[in-house]
Amino acid sequence: MQLKNKEALLLLAPSILILLVTTIFPFLYCIWVSLNNIIIFYPVPNTFKGLQNYIDSLTNPIYGFWKSAYTTLIFTGSSILLEFILGLAIALLLNKEFKGVGFLRSIIVIPLLVSPVSIGLIFRLMFQSGSWSLVNYILKSIGMSPFNWLAERSLAMLVLIITDTWQWTPLMVLIFLAGLRMLPQEPFDAASVDGASSWQIFRYLTVPMLKEMMAIAFLLRLMDSLKTFDIIYVVTLGGPGEATQNLNYNAFLQSFVFGNLSIAAAQILMLTVVVIIISSIILRMVRR
């Protein structure tokens, strides 16, 4: 028996090595960086700071932690909620059989195939205030006044939410659709025979049976959305002011503009802990 375990370990060794190199070691190094004082743009000697970087991030407004945490909450919460609702609605629609549903199922994934940078550029142009702004053109043609989309805090955030929702709703659709296709048909037939309404079927059958898929979809998007950087960088650069500067973008600035790798590492690790806690809570709720 011991020999078999050793064989298994030997065969798994390459995968473990890759995991160590690409995931475990960088994570441990990130923790080490967050406990020290590493600044890349001027010759400050490295000293061990312990948890001071974490305390500084939480207490010193110059590091922008709480502002960007609030922005992250607004952006992530709104995007995921919209994507969840739209994704489920579209998946329910695509789960039915009607003419053209196959074509719709195939084109729904197109946004997922386009790079976030390209999408960001397109939406930036669409919502720009200039004469090439598609959205303002449409608004003007229906008699409404144009908006300064990227120059006002709430509107800039709305543009980002729309951009993110446009790109990632199809992922939710795919996950929910896969879940719906796997559901047994008998309970639904029985419910129909018993006279249950569509809403009752959805509320008491579809949702409970899709619970685990919903949790997976939510967690996947949560982890991704918290890391959003590309569309913020391309569409708003974190502006106007700091209105759309989320934690990830803030960490990028701390690293590559302020040169303070330790503060950036501390902030990212705090975000990681939050994600782990939320994921654990959701998985426990689902298992119950």
Partner 1 sequence: MGEEKKINRRDYLKYTGAAIGGLVVGGALGYLAKPAEVVEKTATVTAPGVEKTVTTTVTAPAKPAESISVYMVAEPAPEATKKILDLFKKKTGIDVTLEVYPYPTLQTKQATVLSAGSATPDVVMVDDVWLGQYYESGWVEPIDDLVERDKTEINFDDFIPGIVEGNMKYKGKIIGLAHLSAIYIFYYREDILEQFGYSAKDLDTYDGVYEVAKAMKPDLEKKNMYPIGLMGARGVQATCCYYHFLGTFGGRVYDPETFKPEINSPEAVEALEFEAKLAKEVGIPSIPSDDYGELQANFLNGRIAMMPAWHNMAPVLLLPESPVKGKWRGIPVPKKVRRAPTLGGWCLSINKFSKKKDAAWEFIKWATSADVSVYCAKYQDMSRYSAFADPSKACYASGSTTDLELAWPRPNIPPWPAMSDLIGIAVNRVLAGETTAKAACDDLQAKFVEILKSAGYYKG
- Site of interaction with partner 1 (CB under 8 A): 3, 6-7, 10-11, 40-44, 62, 128-132, 148-153, 156, 236-242, 253, 256-259
Nearer to partner 1, 137 or 204 (CB): 137
Nearer to partner 1, 15 or 185 (CB): 15
- We find the least distance from the C-beta atom of residue 261 to partner 1, in angstroms, to be 9
Quote the CA–CA distance of 263 and 252 in Å, as a whole number. 10
- We find the least distance from the C-beta atom of residue 163 to partner 1, in angstroms, to be 15
- We find the least distance from the C-beta atom of residue 133 to partner 1, in angstroms, to be 9
Nearer to partner 1, 130 or 208 (CB): 130
What distance lies between CA 40 and its chain's CA centroid?
29
Nearer to partner 1, 75 or 168 (CB): 75
- We find the least distance from the C-beta atom of residue 257 to partner 1, in angstroms, to be 5
Please spell the DSSP secondary structure of 139-205, one letter per residue: HHHTTPPP--TTTSHHHHHHHHHHHHHHHHHHHHHHHHHHHHHHS-SHHHHHHHHTT--HHHHIIII
- We find the least distance from the C-beta atom of residue 65 to partner 1, in angstroms, to be 15
Quote the CA–CA distance of 112 and 62 in Å, as a whole number. 36
Strand partners, 48: 36
Q: List Cα–Cα distances, 180 to 162, 172, 220, in angstroms.
A: 26, 12, 18
Quote the CA–CA distance of 42 and 175 in Å, as a whole number. 48
One-letter amino acid for residue 76 of the chain: T
Nearer to partner 1, 66 or 132 (CB): 132
